[in-house]
A and B are shown apart, each in its own frame.
Chain A
Amino acid sequence: MKIKLTYLYPDLCGLYGDRGNAMAIKRLCEKLNLSLQIDRVNDIGDRIDFDHTDLMLLSPGELSTFPNIVEDLKANIEALKAYIESGGYFFAIGSSACVFAKRVNRINRPSYQGLDIGYFDCQERKSIYGDDLIFTCEMVNQKREVSSSQIQTVDILASHQSQRFGKIVYGYGNHHNTDEGIRYKNLIITNALGPLFVKNPWILLDVIADIVQKKGEKLDTSKINFFLEKKSFEVSKKFNLHKKTSYRFSLKS
């Protein structure tokens, strides 16, 4: 069984060690005896194959980088929309939410339009906000807990049409409320850094299992052991829910 990852613009959007997500996909596929093909889209203008991909990954980047990426994806907009509408998995991490926003409002720099998928806007923050982020979300009909960190350079301003990806247990999330990220079908826009799949491989396992199932096969997960990740999750949750150094909008549940 072969799975194909399209790793979008890693040189342009490579902040916060997020390449670890691509490494996690490779590692888990190896553990599951799945063959993984990684297509790296290195620069603006490089060909993107939406037809034969199972998973797309776009990592956080600098805010001035996104207008070029938006224009590049606009050139492929029909294929991208078809991929998302058909339930293809697309993870947009951290500030790369800007690519899918209707509008990105910047401070002292030109604002720009995004692809407008997912019904939300982005607002650049005056100051950066960093903290841990713990939330629950639903992955392939299973409720999952996620432990991560967050470096908020833009706030996600959801609309009444948008659907959140997760519900905050601890942290800031989209905009100082209980919402974490945006979900539109299997386009998942999340603030979760960590990297997400490294710290929470159970999320990735759900995604891969779903991809494999859609191809008519079933995964053998019996040998999968997330011992270190579970220990990490435990101590991180304990630390965050009991720390005396949390910000005032800590939303302990």
Chain B
Amino acid sequence: MRFILELYLGKLFAFLTDRIDKNRGTSFAGYCILKLDRKFISKFKGIHKDQVILVSGTNGKSTTTHLIVHILKHNGHKVISNVSGANLASGIATCLIKNSDCHGRVKEGYLVLEVDERTLKYILDWIPAKHLLITNIMTDQVARNGYPEFIYNIFSDIIQKDMTLYLNNDDPRSKAFESLGTEVVYYGCERMNFNKQKQSLFDITMPCPKCHHKITFEYMNGSNIGHFYCSNCGYSNQKKIKYCVKSIDFKKGSAEILDTKFKLPYTASFMIYNYAAAISLTHHLGNSIHTIVDAFQNFRNIEGRIETFQFNQKKIFYLRMKQENPETLQAAIDVVIRDKHKKAVVIGLCVIDDFIPFYSNTFYSFDCQFDGLKAETVEKIICFGETICYDVANRLIYDGIPLNKIEMIPSNDGNQILTSIAQCQSTHVYLITWLKIYHQILSSVPSC
């Protein structure tokens, strides 16, 4: 009876927030009801374990979830999901409130949930799940997640023995969960033509998640993602996997998997891993590779990954990075470097303001390489951010970028940043910052 009352209250909140503020509509109702009853999520009925798919990990959760949902729908399946990126318990509760009847019975079909790494342990307590896809385990939000092993340990403790695990064969940490599930499906990518070979005296790899000795990479498709081995314990990639993306051609925008060509609209390596992950899961569930690939024809990703807008006769490319997340910063830098046009680059790392205390961390920029920005095609680099623009400028100087090529703006003011952009000669401008700041700048553009 109590659950029914909470559910009705939740439905009322969801109805009202959808009408008052759409942006909060993805989690507000769940947030309120979870305050009343922490185990509210566990009380829904009609959830079939075999049809529950959880997507977790550090990077790529949203895109992978979105791809899975899109493919399943394209193949005629009914799907419920929190694709809007509300991946905490409040977002998942809201998703269930909106997609259940007045008895709390969840609608039929697959339940595909993007789940925050720290929230996963609660969700697994509350919702029976057969399928768990892990994108990767990397450094992210260090004031909350500390270090990758911290998240790795959480996952190790909660993965259930009867689960089917979908693991990134090229990520040493993700792959190390292979001993924990009944069934393991690996996905990965073959060597990409722009892959990185770490060689400098200051390049570092990572400790082996099994024996804590050094992991060596023969090549990398991303930061600590690639062909790896540990010479102490012998841990390495699976030699041959079913779901390996091959013949990756960024210029033509195509790649192959299971001998089938597919369209690749992105040039960022991590995006290809998201595709590999989504293909492996949906194919393993019984969908044909042709209908999966066919679904990509009309796939449109969620807002804010890679966007463009016009300003002052310039094309501004927004590349999203996440706070304290070196992998997304590096991926953005790599996209800039691959563009051979003359260009300006605008970087805003800004104060970390997820929760109190706010702080001025920029040390994660030392996990990235900026030396590609020394290229002559880079006209100017604008570093903005009230408290940290000097640290970012200094970071660039460490990678050999001359000071006279760097402009510092100790502010997040959109007008000030746009004024500097307007003074650039290049017609291509890359903006790298987090989504919130991007929206702030966008709101200062007269035509947007």
> Contact residues of A with B, CB < 8 Å?
10-12, 14-20, 22-24, 27, 38, 40, 42-44, 60-65, 67-68, 95, 108-109, 128-132, 149, 151, 153, 193-195, 198-199, 228-229, 231-232, 235-236, 239-240, 243, 245-247, 250
Contact = CB atoms under 8 A, between A and B. Distances in A.
B155 to A, nearest CB: 14
A128 B146 contact: yes
A153 B150 contact: yes
Interface in B195-224: 201-202, 204-207, 212-215
A233 B36 CA distance: 45
Contact of B394 (A17, A108, A132, A229): A229
Given A151-B146, A195-B363, A235 B214 contact: no
Contact of B207 (A40, A65, A131, A153): A65
Which interface residue of A62, A68, A229 has the most chain B CB atoms within 10 A?
A62
A63 B390 contact: no
A20 B391 contact: no
Contact of A198 (B146, B149, B366): B366
A19 B212 contact: no
A153 B387 contact: no
The 4 closest A-B pairs by CB, nearest first: A130-B143, A17-B366, A20-B366, A14-B204
Contact of A232 (B201, B206, B367, B391): B391
Contacts of B5: none
A68 B212 contact: yes
Interface of B: 139, 142-150, 153, 157, 201-202, 204-207, 212-215, 231-232, 326, 351-353, 356-361, 363-367, 386-388, 390-391, 393-395, 397-398, 410
A62 B207 contact: yes
Given A228-B394, A231-B390, A128 B145 contact: yes
A129 B143 contact: yes
A22 B207 CA distance: 19
Given A17-B365, A23-B202, A62-B149, A12 B214 contact: yes
A41 B98 CA distance: 56
A149 B213 contact: no
Contacts of B363: 16-18, 20, 149, 193-195
A65 to B, nearest CB: 5
A247 B355 CA distance: 10
B65 to A, nearest CB: 26
Contacts of A14: 204-206
A11 B201 contact: no
A130 B147 contact: no
A231 B388 CA distance: 10
A166 B151 CA distance: 31
Contacts of B146: 128, 151, 153
Nearest to A198: B394
Contacts of A67: 212
A23 B201 CA distance: 9
Given A11-B206, A65-B207, A246-B356, A235 B201 contact: no
B410 A68 contact: no
Nearest to A148: B363
Given A15-B147, A18-B363, A245-B357, A43 B387 contact: no
Contacts of B386: 235, 239
B204 to A, nearest CB: 4
